[in-house]
Amino acid sequence: MNATGRSEDRGPGFAEAIAHPNIALAKYWGKRDDGDRLPAVPSLSVTLAGMLTRTRVRFDAALDAAELVIGGAQASVGATARVAALLDRVRSASGRLERARVESANDFPTASGLASSASAFAALAAAATAAAGLSWSAARVSDLARRSSVSAARSVLGGYVELPAGRAGDLELPALPVASSDHLDLRIVVAVTREGPKDIGSTEGMLHTTRTSPFYAAWVAHAPSLCARVRDAVLARDLEALGAAAEESALCMHASAIAAAPGLIYWTGATVEAIAEVRRLRARGLAAWATIDAGPHVKVITTPADEDAVTRAIAGVPGVLRTIATRPGPGATVVAGAPAER
């Protein structure tokens, strides 16, 4: 797709948006059992430049149902239904009756297990509301994205972003800005340890943890203090405190999943080797802390000054296939067809 819409694509009913994945420095893992996709714990992430999702939405009276094309290929029935649910919310908020065709593409491999639903639903929420002619605030777009994927609420905003835990009776829960992307100039080196899709997606994995892990209650009790430590460290620009709290958050989240029955182990040998290398780097005085999402890849938090040394060391870990360089970046942006452009 082009950076901007082709001229014949502009006009009412069309918009294109871009959004980036985010990495949670304080993890979200688990939903409340009441409410509409409300997280059980607060989370705090940094939105990343360096990986991008681009999504076009066109409302079209000729369509009988929502259509979804990802990376040029027709999407599965399940993926299309999840997208159609968001589009239905936009249709009822805007009064539009037409169905929409959605085309989405990532500039990183979609089936790699890195392809987070966060950038996908953040871009979709931004494009769909703009295409429907809604001039919504970022908070409203974030709340819409959260209803499709909790972590997507955070990718609507740039920089450092917090999503509070849901509370009983919450009808809306948008992510909140904590600090801009240039507030704390860290780097995140992604160590890709496997190509191909992950085994168990986040939605299913956290539900299994919620239902069967004896450590889940401990995770829910402890997560708010980890998130507060991450927030304080970001605001104080204290990378050492941030790294320590982020690594603890990731390990506590994975401990709760590993203790599920049967245990949910997202890691491979390369994941453990990469964590060990991160600790060796730290012992040598380099800035390096590990975080891991629902997959085997390790994301290393570091500084601009130490990025090259950390990248070289992590790339040399047996089982690390390649690395991706990322840094704090912007939130979801409508690049064509915004209501203001018409």
- Would you tell me which residues interact with ligand DP6 (CB under 6 A)? 24, 27-29, 37, 43, 117, 149-151, 202-203, 293-294
* Cα 58 off chain centre by: 24
In whole angstroms, how close is the CB of 315 to ligand DP6 at the nearest point? 23
Q: What's the closest the beta carbon of residue 284 comes to ligand DP6, in angstroms?
A: 29
Which residue, 190 or 286, has its beta carbon nearer to ligand DP6? 190
**Number of CB atoms found within 10 A of residue 282's CB:** 17
If the CB atoms of residues 29 and 59 are measured against ligand DP6, the closer one turns out to be 29
Q: Which is nearer to ligand DP6, 24 or 313 (CB)?
A: 24
Q: Give the residue from 218, 203, 154, 171 showing the smallest Cα distance to 29.
A: 203
If the CB atoms of residues 27 and 194 are measured against ligand DP6, the closer one turns out to be 27
What is the separation of C-alpha 144 from the centre of its chain, rounded to a whole number of angstroms?
Answer: 14
The 10 Å Cβ neighbour count of residue 37 is: 15
Q: How far is the CB of 43 from ligand DP6 (least distance, A)?
A: 4
Query: What is the CB neighbour count within 10 angstroms for residue 137?
Result: 9
CA distance 213 to 29: 12
What are the E-state strand segments in the chain? 14-19, 22-26, 43-49, 53-60, 67-70, 73-74, 99-106, 160-163, 176-179, 187-192, 289-291, 298-302, 322-328, 333-336
Minimum CB distance to ligand DP6, residue 81 (Å): 14
Side chain identity at residue 61, one-letter code: A
Q: Which is nearer to ligand DP6, 203 or 333 (CB)?
A: 203
Complex with ligand DP6: residue 162 or 277, whichever CB lies closer: 162
For the CB of residue 270, give the shortest distance to ligand DP6 in the complex, in Å.
18
Nearer to ligand DP6, 43 or 210 (CB): 43
Look up residue 115 and give its two tokens. Answer: 């392809």
Least Å from the CB of residue 202 to ligand DP6: 3
Residue 292 C-beta: closest distance to ligand DP6, Å: 8
Q: CB count, 10 Å around CB of 191?
A: 29
